Structure 1
Amino acid sequence: MKALVTGAGGGIGAAVSRALDARGYDLILVDRERASLDALANTLNREPKKIVCDLSSRDDVEVLCERFHTDLADLDILINNAGVVLPGAVAGLTPEALDLHLEINLRAPIRLMRAAAPQMIARKSGAMVATVSLGGVIALKDSAIYSASKFGLRGFLCGFHQELAPCGVKVSGVYPAAVDTPMLHHEALHGGSVLNFIDKVMSAEDIAKATLEAIDTGKLEVYSPYSASLTARFFGSFPWMIRPLLPFMEKLGERGRRKFLAVKGFSAE
């Protein structure tokens, strides 16, 4: 059994890779940095295949897609985990930053899933899982472009799930709240949404468990933690309620952010 994980060198990607390795999968690890793949490989039970690929590069993505028709044609599991978030007001982001979100968070996973689909359909088996985010359910200020990319990915998964279910192929999204990774540390220290810190901060291993649940069950959406999803889905259904309540929510979030940074040993200023 073969499983491919994008963004494998990051916190969630590494945890998912270790969980799949423990299940006995032969791994294909994808990341833009060879060093992070080498470091992860040293923690696994068996030697993985390592692919250096920059998912913001359309050329790199197309080369990887072609491999789904050759040496990766027998892939059983595709985990689209790679993602990027650069917090800030839209007017202050560069055009390059806008494109980066759309390429990595939206276009690349769509292209990879489309490329993997024919082989899985032919075998009437396989699973594709994307790490989305509660940012794909509720959009907040200073995360607008991130949410735009994740809203788009959620919409794609919903339609693709319906298309492939009759073919025996599972399509799922995992929706984490805040996760204790370098990406969250960057957000906490560089103006990311303090609303990340209202609820419990999850571990990368928690999200790996949610990913395994998605693989096993084929559920369209798996939330971690489920409690945070209830609030996000409520406000996602009534987005006009967010702005009036935002000052109160931000006070709670800032309190949680400072507590998180203190636990991690970072300065809150």
Structure 2
Amino acid sequence: MSESLDGKIAVITGAASGIGLAATRRLLDRGATVVMVDWNEAALAELAGKLGDRAIPQVTNLLDVDSCNAMIPEILAKVDHIDILYCNAGTYIGGELTETTPEAIDRMLNLNVNAVMKNVRAVVPHMTRRKTGDIVVTCSIAGHFPTWWEPVYSGSKWAITSFVQGMRRQMIPHGVRVMQVSPGPVVSALLADWPEENLRKARESGSLIDAEEVADALEYMLTRKRTVTIRDMLVLPTNFDRV
């Protein structure tokens, strides 16, 4: 049974591009108000102007400790409650461990793991008081098996899978659902350095999915009746054979 998102208030991180923007558009189309969180102030202002009054910009740099800590309080000064927190912002490092730098590792873990944990920690008291809420995190299929070609990224997503599934159990008595969506390779800014021809061939061969497919999964998860939790949804390109 599908439930309505009309009138819900959602917070989406990394909302100015990729999966976050696709999710924003989908929830707006379904009647929700979306607080769009991103560090790119100019992009947020432009998008909010195009998307309408129910798209509320929130400039936050999740890699800045003070900015990250202020995110939920600043949002609650703009809206009176939060029904949905979608922790989507993240970054990617591929290749062998020795090919990256300690600084890049710190950046990835701070964004993919630490910021998620801090955002969830900040919203949990609010949702617990209201005895309802949905928390969704963008994980990855790399968080489900040892992806030897991207061990730093995979390690961050394994950590998040453990965190989400632990928090799901903690929040059951409080009426708060905690879920994750685990996409395969998605056409996004993370593939910005790919030649257009390579992207075209990968799409046509079924080796990539569009961000809208992840938004489809998110919508399905959020619209189940409250007695149902989709704990994790894996969304794979049909031609992806590494799992």
SS at match of 1:186: coil
SS at match of 2:186: coil
Counterpart for residue 244 of structure 1: none
Return the match for 1:117 from 124, 140, 143.
Answer: 124
d(CA) in 1 for partners of 2:232 and 2:140? 11
1:30, distance to aligned residue in structure 2 (A): 0.7
Unaligned runs of 5+ in 2: 1-7, 197-201
Counterpart for residue 177 of structure 1: 184
Which aligned pairs between 1:44-123 and structure 2 lie closer than 5 A? 44-67=51-74, 71=78, 74-123=81-130
SS at match of 1:174: strand
Counterpart for residue 232 of structure 2: 221
Give the letter aligned to residue 223 of structure 1. L
1:181, distance to aligned residue in structure 2 (A): 1.3
Counterpart for residue 5 of structure 2: none
Which aligned pairs between 1:194-209 and structure 2 lie closer than 5 A? 200-209=207-216
d(CA) in 2 for partners of 1:121 and 1:110? 16
1:101-128: CA deviation from partner (whole Å, max 9, x where unpaired): 1111011011111111111111111101
Task: Give the conservation status (yes or no) of the 8 Å contact 2:207–2:240.
Answer: no
Return the match for 2:148 from 141, 148, 157.
Answer: 141
Structure label with greater radius of gyration: 1
Among all aligned residue pairs of Structure 1 and Structure 2, give the percentage whose two residues are the same amino acid: 29
Change (3 A) 1:188 1:139: farther
Task: Give the conservation status (yes or no) of the 8 Å contact 2:72–2:119.
Answer: yes
Counterpart for residue 130 of structure 1: 137
- Greater share of residues in helix: 1
d(CA) in 2 for partners of 1:71 and 1:38? 15
1:87, distance to aligned residue in structure 2 (A): 2.0
Change (3 A) 1:118 1:229: farther
Change (3 A) 1:87 1:225: closer
Alpha-carbon RMSD: 2.6
Q: Which of the pair has the greater relative contact order for Cα pairs under 8 Å at 6+ separation?
A: 2
Change (3 A) 1:137 1:197: farther
1:62-86: CA deviation from partner (whole Å, max 9, x where unpaired): 1214446655561111010101002
1:52, distance to aligned residue in structure 2 (A): 1.4
Counterpart for residue 23 of structure 2: 16
d(CA) in 2 for partners of 1:138 and 1:59? 34
Unaligned runs of 5+ in 1: 190-194, 233-269
Please state if 1:28 is matched with 2:35: yes
d(CA) in 2 for partners of 1:76 and 1:230? 36
